[in-house]
Structure 1
Amino acid sequence: MLAIVLGACVVLSDVYARRVPNAWLVATLLTAIAMAFLQKLSGASQVSWPSPLGLATGLISMLPFYAIRWMGAGDVKFFATLGFLLGARALLPIWVMGCLMTGVHATCVLLLRMPRIACAPGIVSVHQHLRAWPLWRRAQHARQGRVGLPHAAYLAIAAIVTVLAPELTQWGRP
């Protein structure tokens, strides 16, 4: 449940402001730990402990992409948090689905930058209407110059799919 709530918040924040607030990630980590302790104290027969291995796997696997500036620090920290919540095994399908969605987005952006497509009358009209929309202007202001694709949002969507429909992400597992 924590992964779904955090994921929904990250989708909105990353799409709108290209930002993943650290406070949300820390609060989620602490909440996951507190919930596990409360389960243990209540005498639950099975306690779902967060995964430090998942946290380390998520962090270590994404740090090289941050180092070469292919993704932001928020993306890395969010992926590590997902590893903590869902475990290391959940990270590969989340990463694959998130990267595929980001790739489609990047392809669309590149296509729309091609002179023949960018100057097409319909595209020009859509761009003009989009830029005149107050929500678009507020989002641009909220981004404070941050550019790039909302990769954390796509990772969040993939995490939500992984939690809600695990059968879709059990590639080759019995």
Structure 2
Amino acid sequence: MTLLGLLAIGLCLRIAISDLYARRVPNAWLLGTSALAMVALLAGQFIGPPAAWMPHLLGALLGLVALLPFYAIGWMGAGDVKFFAVIGLLLGMHALLPVWIIASLAAGAHAVAVLACARLPLVLPTPLQLQWERSHRYWRNRPSVQRMQGARQGRQGIPYAAYMGIAAIGWVLWTVHGGSP
């Protein structure tokens, strides 16, 4: 596994946890990882055989440009766009399409589950509706859930960055264990 692959796994784990918990993609982590990646790419030119750096730079640019329209129309947060660009920098442009497809399928499944759960009480018999409401109220009043809601500060939506992170980790592991990049 390469240094960039290890950096990608570390960043993706951190971002997935942050996005699931607080619906945030911290800029400091993105900037720090990008700086380390640039140092690794530069050092790769002088240590051993020269490493290919152009696919990584093109990956960053393509990752940014590909998701920027979704941010512009309000369908995606800026953190998701920046994170996709950093994934492109770390893994190269060839990883972007598989990561995007897998993350989009996971986000679509998430959206379907959210819509189904919102409508489920309407089709349940009355006793089950009451039980659903009691369990939902119990869940919302849990201290850990209230802390999580406080950390989100009203941010809602699908944790797309978490799904991109999980897909990117899968890509790294797949390429390490025999898949071709």
TM-score under structure 2 length normalisation: 0.85
Relative to structure 1, the CA distance from residue 32 to residue 128 in structure 2 (aligned partners, 3 Å threshold; closer, same or farther) is: same
Structure 2 residue 40 is matched with structure 1 residue 35: yes
Which of these residues, 7, 16, 19, is aligned with residue 2 of structure 1?
Answer: 7
Structure 2 residue 101 is matched with structure 1 residue 96: yes
| Stretches of structure 1 lacking an aligned partner (at least 5 in a row) | none
Structure 2 residue 160 is matched with structure 1 residue 156: no
Which of these residues, 61, 70, 76, is aligned with residue 66 of structure 2?
Answer: 61
Tell me the CA shift for residue 126 of structure 1. Answer: 3.5
Rounded Cα–Cα distance in structure 1 between residues aligned with 2:96 and 2:136: 36
Structure 2 residue 146 is matched with structure 1 residue 137: yes
Tell me the CA shift for residue 35 of structure 1. Answer: 1.9
Q: State the AA in 2 paired with 1:4.
A: I
| Stretches of structure 2 lacking an aligned partner (at least 5 in a row) | 1-5
- Structure exhibiting the larger radius of gyration computed from Cα positions: 2
Say if 1:117 and 1:123, in contact at 8 Å, map to a contact too. no
TM-score under structure 1 length normalisation: 0.88
Rounded Cα–Cα distance in structure 2 between residues aligned with 1:117 and 1:83: 44
Tell me the CA shift for residue 130 of structure 1. Answer: 1.9
Q: Percent identity?
A: 46
Rounded Cα–Cα distance in structure 2 between residues aligned with 1:69 and 1:158: 23
The number of aligned residues is: 171
Rounded Cα–Cα distance in structure 2 between residues aligned with 1:124 and 1:94: 37
Q: Residues 13-92 of structure 1: matches in 2 within 5 Å?
A: 13-41=18-46, 43-47=47-51, 49=53, 51-92=56-97
- Two-structure CA RMSD over aligned residues (Å): 2.4
Q: State the AA in 2 paired with 1:138.
A: R
